[in-house]
Amino acid sequence: MYHHVKKLMYTVNIGEPDPRFGNMLLEQFGGANGELAAAMQYSIQGFNCEDPARKDLLMDIGTEELSHLEVVGALIRMHLKPMKSDRAAAEADPLVSIAGGGGVALFNSVGDAWTADYLKITGDLAVDLHSNIAAEARAKIVYERLINFTDDQGTKEALQFLMTREITHMRAFTAALETMGKPRFSIGTIAPTEGLVDEYFNDSTGEGDEGEDGLADSIVEAAKLTKVDSEMFGGEGLDITPDSPVPDSEEVSKVDSTPVGRKPMGKPTILKKTGTRRK
Amino acid sequence: MYHHVKKLMYTVNIGEPDPRFGNMLLEQFGGANGELAAAMQYSIQGFNCEDPARKDLLMDIGTEELSHLEVVGALIRMHLKPMKSDRAAAEADPLVSIAGGGGVALFNSVGDAWTADYLKITGDLAVDLHSNIAAEARAKIVYERLINFTDDQGTKEALQFLMTREITHMRAFTAALETMGKPRFSIGTIAPTEGLVDEYFNDSTGEGDEGEDGLADSIVEAAKLTKVDSEMFGGEGLDITPDSPVPDSEEVSKVDSTPVGRKPMGKPTILKKTGTRRK
Amino acid sequence: MYHHVKKLMYTVNIGEPDPRFGNMLLEQFGGANGELAAAMQYSIQGFNCEDPARKDLLMDIGTEELSHLEVVGALIRMHLKPMKSDRAAAEADPLVSIAGGGGVALFNSVGDAWTADYLKITGDLAVDLHSNIAAEARAKIVYERLINFTDDQGTKEALQFLMTREITHMRAFTAALETMGKPRFSIGTIAPTEGLVDEYFNDSTGEGDEGEDGLADSIVEAAKLTKVDSEMFGGEGLDITPDSPVPDSEEVSKVDSTPVGRKPMGKPTILKKTGTRRK
Amino acid sequence: MYHHVKKLMYTVNIGEPDPRFGNMLLEQFGGANGELAAAMQYSIQGFNCEDPARKDLLMDIGTEELSHLEVVGALIRMHLKPMKSDRAAAEADPLVSIAGGGGVALFNSVGDAWTADYLKITGDLAVDLHSNIAAEARAKIVYERLINFTDDQGTKEALQFLMTREITHMRAFTAALETMGKPRFSIGTIAPTEGLVDEYFNDSTGEGDEGEDGLADSIVEAAKLTKVDSEMFGGEGLDITPDSPVPDSEEVSKVDSTPVGRKPMGKPTILKKTGTRRK
Amino acid sequence: MYHHVKKLMYTVNIGEPDPRFGNMLLEQFGGANGELAAAMQYSIQGFNCEDPARKDLLMDIGTEELSHLEVVGALIRMHLKPMKSDRAAAEADPLVSIAGGGGVALFNSVGDAWTADYLKITGDLAVDLHSNIAAEARAKIVYERLINFTDDQGTKEALQFLMTREITHMRAFTAALETMGKPRFSIGTIAPTEGLVDEYFNDSTGEGDEGEDGLADSIVEAAKLTKVDSEMFGGEGLDITPDSPVPDSEEVSKVDSTPVGRKPMGKPTILKKTGTRRK
Amino acid sequence: MYHHVKKLMYTVNIGEPDPRFGNMLLEQFGGANGELAAAMQYSIQGFNCEDPARKDLLMDIGTEELSHLEVVGALIRMHLKPMKSDRAAAEADPLVSIAGGGGVALFNSVGDAWTADYLKITGDLAVDLHSNIAAEARAKIVYERLINFTDDQGTKEALQFLMTREITHMRAFTAALETMGKPRFSIGTIAPTEGLVDEYFNDSTGEGDEGEDGLADSIVEAAKLTKVDSEMFGGEGLDITPDSPVPDSEEVSKVDSTPVGRKPMGKPTILKKTGTRRK
């Protein structure tokens, strides 16, 4: 159950309205990485979540993002105000001025309607937490770019407030993922094929205006992967020996989501991968 | 420059075609977390990338995903085949059968046209790598669910191959992020507000059929955050003291992307945050 | 500022899960006339609203719709549950089962992603209230159809609760519009052209399998309009004498929104239309 | 069957082309509340309509809106003309100039492709008429804003013509709804729950920069609703006693659409609600 | 100016309603290659057309397609009828049954909202005619597939009528293109680079489960192109000598559309390409 | 299997960056007729193609278009560069600057996300080749318009290269269609109704500001069609005698795609239409 209090989470003040900046700010209202996207992604993951602790966290943060939507909306309305009366300002975003009357609506800075295609909701808790960490990183960088494009002090401060909260949330989601106790690259319940999972395929090669081959070698090494060249160029190619998926071969957590597509049998037992599927 | 070789990266064989399963598989062809989404996200990040090592990596993996698109496309076509002649099969996906002639096209399992709104491309390297790690986790879980919904051995093996590669890529992107040498929660060039960044806002409370308060406490603690209650319920609320963003206050990496919105001045100097912005 | 309480506004219980009905119910979660659409339309109109009384009303109702979103989400999850383990159930909505893990997400019953194109937000208060009355009527009829397609008692009762609230809101929005004190067909500040506004154009004629001419005559009369036939068929056509728009010729309300596109000059004076624009 | 006559319903003349204004005008060609949206909404409702009188009306008005599409298209082309040769003009809308050759196409002022998601078609006649009344109000206000943003006399007159027609149609749809003889808040065939339908939920409270509580009281009273406070704040909450939907408990009209989801049995009998469902 | 006559262009009769077939038929109502797409593509090209003869043709055919929309809509409604009362039928398309009340709306067979992204309108007459020829070919094949999936005689006959018209229109558009008097591959006003335009790039090679190299040789020859291999595999690659575009180097027709992006100077003179741009 | 070589197919050099022109160029990166659209349309048609020769051709050209995507992307990035640091440049496309960090992404010039709705893939080979010929014509004219709007020599040359290739491909697809050996207007396997297919319906008539009747007569004649007037105006209307579709009545090619909706029976026999379906 939701409740609204007639007070902004952060009080917004600006100096001179800057309609084109208000237009830019719409990225954080109705844009792909904006506050509604965050609110919806976390809240709906929360609706679906089977683990009470992480459900609580998702609802806490999802609801805070709704409050941010209201704050950034108030900030934008202040900047858009000249669109109501000034033709030049109106040209900055005719959708806002002509169709929207100079107020906020769920569009981004170029007038694309907000779409749930922006959201990443898989119903697998660990996967969703990965998506949320990335979402917070994106929201942070977008706020920073907006800060860099304005000189208005009140606007800068409001954006600094909102930007800071994204890092807080990024830390919370990271802790939520790590305290699940899963190995770093453990996703779901079926382990990847041994051997093949360690092969890095070198699929962009040569030397030219777009770079040269081998530049990624140190990263490949850091990932403990082995570089394999394409058959196309005399390499041996990836190991494509057929391998059969082994149910419950991946290490899982007690709080993992119910796997999808399996006979219902309660939570999968937590076991070590034992299958020797290929030599 | 791209080249195509008339050979699948993984040879696909199936037993009996299963049109409704072919329809499900479209999630990995034209779906939000499918192979085209992966190929485009990484390749276009690669086009934009200013760091040669990570550009190489992005192009390697982006190109491999294109080859996966072809493999999963071949697998799907085998399963969709009955849609060409059988009315009942055709009903499983009339868009495929009537408009598409029973072949693959860039739609997901419910006929939504593939859209670039699925992609996460910010032009900030560290942020993009976060998005890619999450993208690989999502692709992995989707393959696993598909495996769980089929009994066809050849199909299972092909999906196991493709699923495995997602974990390889997840490891590669993680190494690419970590070898940038940035602190874990360092995004961009402006540090979050001290104090406020450590506050966790408890915005979903009470006790009822949707859970109870305080369940997330251990995660909040693991994240080294302090729980703050809403003013709405007698808490002190978040610290909303205005704080001004401090340029170059965040630790950056030598390979970070050019910050956006700042006067051009080459790469930002790598410095420790020193601003004492608030007590 | 928003707050969430861990309790559903209406406690949901169902008998046997019915995945295909759960799929139908998605119309009211992520569909064009569903609860998110209602919540967003009213709340964002509320953000923009300049009249304190109607802003209060919009925020009250917008927030209640968020709580409905949570209720209908809980109901749907109960019905979708078999999609997690049962292949036949999964086929009812592969987007939900394969990509979404059997939980709710912001899609309608055929998997279209929720889009802000569903919303009607013009920033003109009287117009927005008209849109809201219609939106409530649509939501009501959709709930009724869902009720008619299920036999599950708990489901029927939950839908009856939600359906009832739409009528309450329809009454509230109607009162909000009528207490503005505007004439029924007064929209904005420029009056329509006299004479022309009374002409009904008879643009579908003849007699055939799609009806016959003149059937609408009694309605035309009830609207106090005069039927005009097309020049194409010997009629005199609409009166197309050019007429110049007269600012402030329409009757407005003290609580009307600021007109868009006019020099800023505070609220327009409330005056009677006097312009004799055409004889 | 449709026919086209090579003559505009209103002859358009403009002075100096104004490409940025032409761009704004696209809202009424390919925008959410534009002429195609109106033409399609009414015509397709007309295709579906079971009542001959209102079908006639819907076809009359739907066809007139097609003629308006042509008029507003002619007006826009005149204003867009400089986009064909002038780089600065072309920048006003590169989609129009580069992809569209400087002509009209089904996009709005910010280049969003027209989508049927703009339309409101439920197949329930009374509901659809509500949607049409609101649609006309929206179209009217958009024309008025456009008038306010131009000084060109010929353009103003053309827009005044088109704007006037929206009020005519609003009157016609209102008469069509009222002459159905249904009570004002009667939608469909199932009555809302007594008691609950009279409760207004006070879900946005407090006092702050976004307003204060109780401001909507007079509207609530005008709607004959009783304000109920949330349990969250010591109120008694809405009456959530389960109530079972009662078929045919709502008053209907002889011309109502066939209810959906009920056993086919001809038109529902017109009866007074008698069910005493809850005290 | 449009007019509607209350008679279908082709009277539709069906035997037994077949709701799943009705659902398939929606491809031709609100689908990518359906009647609305055709009507809009041709009519709006007609609005923009500068050549009177082809404008007449575009309006004739665009208007006929509107009449087809009405016919196919009538056919679909007959097949969808059981969706109003029968739960199993309703499951065939819950968007139609629950949201649309069992009538037609602008969605395709899988519920995607019709979008103007389906249309191809460039404002260049010759190019648009090419697009129309292709559009008619697509519409024809879709009707044929629908015919093949039904046994209902009345339905087959109605579809045969509509299918036939597409071939008529294909012939008309072809004649409209050919009578422009342009060379076959003359598009616009700037000629392609000599030499380079004759080179066919062999960018998919090798031998494998997806074919072998050289299979297209006879087509390449028929097109009078010369096959060039990639540098990647020891070929000489395409001739990438920089070449400067030469205005008015392409042969044009007297009825060509005004070129875009050029100083306004009336129609370009019709001249032979003379530039010796590269040997 | 795909491979990437770190070299552009055409080396791009520009003089002064022109961000608003870079914005225009996005039409050819993420726009409806851009390089990704071409790459995807041909490659996926190639995946589906049953004829080895045309499959080879489709893969050759589809892959070349991917290389073009990279070239045009490189060109655009050069022009967009000032968006990273300059506020005025950033305003030219806030989606690119704020959300995308000044790099390329899959959006068109007005920020619409690339969608597979742009593609025309029917799975019928002859039809798809028609669509490809039209697609190349569109791509050509868009490149030409871009050339006309820039004065930068390096940019012009790069665009001339890309534009030239479209004509090459147009020739290749035309040869691929013609060498199938089908009659010009033969599509699919069911012949249109004789007589009716020769009737041209004169559905836009009269004389006015939008033209006059009969202007298309010479085209109608060139198409060997007979003009028929509407019953609405005393004409005899189209011949609507019901006609039953005759399987295999259309002439087909040995390389035609498998017809959809027919009992599987191998390729249809190639036979002359013999049915005397109507006199």
Identify which of C39, C27, C257, C25 has the alpha carbon closest to the alpha carbon of residue C132.
Answer: C39
Chain A residues inside the 8 Å CB shell of B51: none
E48: nearest CA partner in chain F: F210
Among C110, C212, C213, the residue to mutate for chain E (most E Cβ within 10 A):
C110
Mean pLDDT within D134-162: 98
Q: What is the helix (H) or strand (E) element at residue A211, kind and residue range?
A: strand A211-212
pLDDT at C263: 64
Contact B73 F44 (CB under 8 A): yes
Percentage of chain E modeled with pLDDT above 70 = 94
Amino acid identity of A5? V
Q: How far apart are CA F124 and CA F188, in angstroms?
A: 8
CA distances for E85 relative to C31, C33, E16, E89, E101, angstroms: 21, 21, 15, 8, 10
From E109, E209, E213, residue closest to B94, measured CB to CB: E109
F24: nearest CA partner in chain D: D94
Contact C91 B32 (CB under 8 A): no
**Residue F103 near residue F77, CB atoms below 8 Å:** yes
Chain E residues inside the 8 Å CB shell of C112: 95, 111-113
Mean pLDDT within D53-59: 98
Structure token digits, residue C82: 């078999």
Under 8 Å CB pairs connecting chains C and D tally to: 339
pLDDT reading at C277 higher than 80: no
pLDDT at E264: 54
All chains having 3 or more CB pairs closer than 8 angstroms to chain B: A, C, E, F
From B56, B74, B257, residue closest to F101, measured CB to CB: B257
Q: How far apart are CA D90 and CA D98, in angstroms?
A: 8
Q: How confident is the model at residue C216 (pLDDT cuts 50, 70, 90)?
A: very high
Amino acid identity of B52? P
Q: How confident is the model at residue A262 (pLDDT cuts 50, 70, 90)?
A: confident
Amino acid identity of A184? R
Identify which of A190, A268, A277, A263 has the alpha carbon closest to the alpha carbon of residue B159.
Answer: A190
Phi-psi region of A234 (alpha: psi -120 to 50; beta: other; left: phi over 0): left
Q: How confident is the model at residue C262 (pLDDT cuts 50, 70, 90)?
A: confident
Q: What is the helix (H) or strand (E) element at residue A226, kind and residue range?
A: strand A226-229
Q: How far apart are CA B260 and CA B48, in angstroms?
A: 13
Chain C residues inside the 8 Å CB shell of D161: 193, 196, 240, 242-243
CA distances for D99 relative to B41, D81, D248, E42, E192, angstroms: 25, 14, 54, 16, 19
Question: What values do phi and psi take at A207, rounded to 5?
Answer: -145, 130
From F209, F210, F232, residue closest to D3, measured CB to CB: F232
Q: How far apart are CA C233 and CA E4, in angstroms?
A: 12
Q: How far apart are CA B109 and CA B96, in angstroms?
A: 10
From F141, F193, F204, residue closest to E60, measured CB to CB: F204
From D48, D124, D263, residue closest to E85, measured CB to CB: D263
Chain D residues inside the 8 Å CB shell of A113: 112
Crossing angle (nearest 10°) for helices A125-148 and B125-148: 160
Chain B residues inside the 8 Å CB shell of C91: 20, 24, 92
From E3, E10, E222, residue closest to F175, measured CB to CB: E222
From B124, B202, B244, residue closest to A160, measured CB to CB: B244
Beta-carbon contacts of residue E59 (< 8 Å; ≥ 6 apart): D4, D6, E42, E43, E46, F203, F204, F210, F211
Which position has the higher pLDDT, B98 or B270? Answer: B98
Contact D4 E85 (CB under 8 A): no
The per-residue pLDDT for range F2-12, each reduced to its tens digit, is 999 999 999 99
The per-residue pLDDT for range C39-51, each reduced to its tens digit, is 999 999 999 999 9
Q: How far apart are CA A68 and CA B121, in angstroms?
A: 23
Per-residue b or e along B234-265, where b marks 16 or more CB atoms closer than 10 Å to that residue's CB: eeebbbeebbebbbbbbbbbebbbbbbbbeee
Shortest distance, CA F94 to any CA of chain E (angstroms): 23
Beta-carbon contacts of residue F209 (< 8 Å; ≥ 6 apart): D6, D7, D8, D11, D74
Identify which of A25, A3, A30 has the alpha carbon closest to the alpha carbon of residue A14.
Answer: A25
Percentage of chain A modeled with pLDDT above 70 = 94
Q: What is the helix (H) or strand (E) element at residue C54, kind and residue range?
A: helix C52-80
Q: How far apart are CA F41 and CA F49, in angstroms?
A: 12
Contact A99 D33 (CB under 8 A): yes
Mean pLDDT within F252-267: 81
Structure token digits, residue D92: 């006003």
Chain E residues inside the 8 Å CB shell of D5: 1-3
Structure token digits, residue C107: 């899609």
Q: How far apart are CA F45 and CA F157, in angstroms?
A: 30
Q: How far apart are CA B170 and CA F275, in angstroms?
A: 62
Q: Collect all residues from C whose CB is shorter than 8 A from any CB in B.
A: 1-8, 11, 70, 74, 87, 90-91, 93-95, 97-99, 101, 107, 110-113
Contact C70 B149 (CB under 8 A): no
* Measured distance between the N- and C-terminal CA atoms of chain C, rounded to whole angstroms: 55
Q: How confident is the model at residue A232 (pLDDT cuts 50, 70, 90)?
A: confident
Q: How many CA atoms lie within 13 A of F228 on its CB side?
A: 20
The per-residue pLDDT for range F94-107, each reduced to its tens digit, is 999 999 999 999 99
Beta-carbon contacts of residue F235 (< 8 Å; ≥ 6 apart): F202, F228, F229
Shortest distance, CA A9 to any CA of chain C (angstroms): 6
Percentage of chain D modeled with pLDDT above 70 = 94
Q: How far apart are CA F172 and CA D195, in angstroms?
A: 73
pLDDT reading at E277 higher than 80: no
D92: nearest CA partner in chain A: A91
From E44, E101, E115, residue closest to D105, measured CB to CB: E44
pLDDT reading at A126 higher than 50: yes
Contact E230 B5 (CB under 8 A): no
The per-residue pLDDT for range B32-88, each reduced to its tens digit, is 999 999 999 999 999 999 999 999 999 999 999 999 999 999 999 999 999 999 999
Beta-carbon contacts of residue C146 (< 8 Å; ≥ 6 apart): C21, C24, C25, C27, C28, C159, D261, E98
F12: nearest CA partner in chain A: A209
Q: What are the residues facing B199 on neighbouring strands? A: B226
Outline where DSSP puts E strands in D40-99.
Answer: none
Q: 3-class secondary structure for chain B?
A: CEEEECCCCCCCCCCCCCHHHHHHHCHHHHCCCCHHHHHHHHHHHHHHCCCHHHHHHHHHHHHHHHHHHHHHHHHHHHHHHHHHCCHHHHHCCHHHHHHCCCCCCCECCCCCECEHHHCCCCCCHHHHHHHHHHHHHHHHHHHHHHHHCCCCHHHHHHHHHHHHHHHHHHHHHHHHHHCCCCCCCCCCCCCCCCCHHHEEEECEECEECCEECCCCHHHHHHCCCEEEECHHHCCCCCCCCCCCCCCCCCCCCCCCCCCCCCCCCCCCCCCCCCCCCCC
Beta-carbon contacts of residue C225 (< 8 Å; ≥ 6 apart): C198, C199, C200, D168, D171, D172
**Residue D66 near residue C207, CB atoms below 8 Å:** no
Contact C3 B232 (CB under 8 A): yes
CA C49 to chain centre: 17
The per-residue pLDDT for range C217-228, each reduced to its tens digit, is 999 999 999 999
Among A1, A2, A4, A6, the residue to mutate for chain D (most D Cβ within 10 A):
A6
Percentage of chain B modeled with pLDDT above 70 = 94
Beta-carbon contacts of residue F279 (< 8 Å; ≥ 6 apart): none
> Over chain E, what is the mean pLDDT?
94
Phi-psi region of E221 (alpha: psi -120 to 50; beta: other; left: phi over 0): alpha
Contact B97 E230 (CB under 8 A): no
Q: Count Cβ atoms below 10 Å from residue C66 Cβ, excluding itself.
A: 27
Question: What values do phi and psi take at B107, rounded to 5?
Answer: -125, 155
For chain E, what is the radius of gyration of the CA atoms? 24
All chains having 3 or more CB pairs closer than 8 angstroms to chain F: A, B, D, E
CA distances for C272 relative to B204, C179, C250, C275, D140, angstroms: 51, 19, 7, 9, 19
Shortest distance, CA B219 to any CA of chain F (angstroms): 31
Among A141, A146, A149, the residue to mutate for chain F (most F Cβ within 10 A):
A149
CA distances for F59 relative to B13, D57, D144, F1, F35, angstroms: 22, 53, 53, 11, 14
The per-residue pLDDT for range C83-109, each reduced to its tens digit, is 999 999 999 999 999 999 999 999 999
Sign of CA dihedral C109, C113, C117, C123: positive
pLDDT at E263: 63
Does the pTM exceed 0.90?
yes
Chain F residues inside the 8 Å CB shell of E5: 232
- CA dihedral angle for residue B178, residue B184, residue B188, residue B189, rounded to 10 degrees: -110
**Residue C253 near residue C169, CB atoms below 8 Å:** no
Q: How far apart are CA E204 and CA E216, in angstroms?
A: 11
Contact A204 F8 (CB under 8 A): no
pLDDT at E265: 44
Chain E residues inside the 8 Å CB shell of F153: 244
Contact D142 A111 (CB under 8 A): no
**Residue E7 near residue D1, CB atoms below 8 Å:** yes
DSSP-derived letter for residue D150 is -
Chain D residues inside the 8 Å CB shell of E105: 44, 116, 119, 121
Shortest distance, CA B116 to any CA of chain A (angstroms): 9
